[in-house]
Copies of this chain bind each other. A is one copy, B any other.
Amino acid sequence: MRKVDVIGIGQTDVREHWARSLRDLAVEAVEAARRDAGVERVDAIFIGNMAASSLCGQANLASLVADACGLLPVEAVTVEAACASGGAAVRAAYLAVAGGAADRALAVGVEKMTDLLTDGVTSALATAADADYEAAHGASFVALNALLMRRYMHEHHVRREDFAPLAVLSHQNALDNPRALYRQPMTADDYARSPLVADPIGVLDSAGIADGAAAVVLSATAPERRSKRPPVRISGSASATDTLALADRRDPLHWTAVGHAAGAACRMAGLRPKDLDLFELHDAFTIVTALTLEACGFADRGTALKLAAEGRLARDGDLPICTLGGLKGRGHPVGASGVYQVVEVVQQLRREAGKAQVKDARVGLAQSVGGSGSVAVAHVLQI
């Protein structure tokens, strides 16, 4: 298969964009990515979206995006893998370019969640869980993650407060990202005082829902283009699944799909986990961060929270995560988040992250996770 580079990135602010439509957000991100890449045309568009049909009454985003971006009659299709839809769109674009079907492809993540009733969003997110065996019994998505966090606290003898450093870190990092939804500093005391959503998960354990769009232009290497920005190589790409329902897992605290996808992407790139300079992981809840770090081999079981407490996950630590705020600080427009992660890794590798810059970053991993760890898509990027 061919080598594939990210040659352009674009993103909207992550906000409550009440006056802007799905179409508006997608167009802004795509236009920015095409400008950044210095190219007009692409051969295919892959759209990551989870909830527009439920929340906006709009499926068929293929035509909507191709049409609104002036790219008709280009091939376009939507890719859905619950909260990993953005990562899945990047992978679909990667496969199209690596396999030779497209010389250039766009991956666009877009989601609009905030001008609706909260109940609608909770129901829409619950479609990522098992409709028959989880959601039908009232288990919302946050409730399922609360079960995981409670089990983690029980098995590993940690307290709710021990998760605070993860939340504090994301908010600290988001301070330096002008695109981020939350740009308020937050302390462990704030965390302790914050209201619970589903015990033991509190507001400050949870990534906020939001509106936003992000886009990347992928290209077979060495294209002719006007941009002076350096290309960033996708040196690893992989995806894996686990059971849909948590109750079907042999060990609910061992997220095998997350471990499989990250491991396969790193092997493809010829890297060991310790070779990574940063990891944009899927911190939808603080417990997801802990389980991800352990599943991917960055921490032994039950020890991930120590990494945060010791400052090793900060931008000047040995494994920086969520360097521009992550899902928690940047905000989590679900189907778009996986594309934002890739955009952010590219910002870091191109030395364009401003005050959020990780020094000497040359290799980054982005991982997008859907359901309760039931599907994961990982990409290794290198400059």
Task: Please report A residues at the B interface, Cβ cutoff 8 Å.
Answer: 1, 21, 23, 50-51, 53-54, 56-64, 66-67, 72-82, 88, 91-92, 95-96, 98-101, 123-124, 126-132, 135-136, 238-244, 248, 256-257, 260, 370-371, 374-375
Contacts and interface: CB of A to CB of B under 8 A. Distances in A.
State the copy count for this chain: 2
A204 B47 CA distance: 35
Nearest to A66: B241
A220 to B, nearest CB: 12
B57 A50 contact: no
23 contacts: A21-B132, A23-B132, A57-B123, A57-B126, A57-B127, A57-B135, A57-B136, A59-B80, A60-B81, A60-B128, A62-B81, A63-B243, A67-B241, A67-B244, A72-B241, A74-B240, A74-B241, A75-B241, A77-B91, A77-B92, A78-B80, A80-B80, A98-B101
Nearest to A239: B75
Contacts of A21: 132
A260 B73 contact: yes
A323 to B, nearest CB: 27
A192 B377 CA distance: 53
Nearest to A56: B131
Contacts of A128: 59-60
Q: Most chain-B Cβ atoms within 10 A of its Cβ — which of A64, A73, A371?
A: A73
A78 B81 CA distance: 6
Nearest to A73: B240
Q: Most chain-B Cβ atoms within 10 A of its Cβ — which of A63, A91, A124, A374?
A: A63
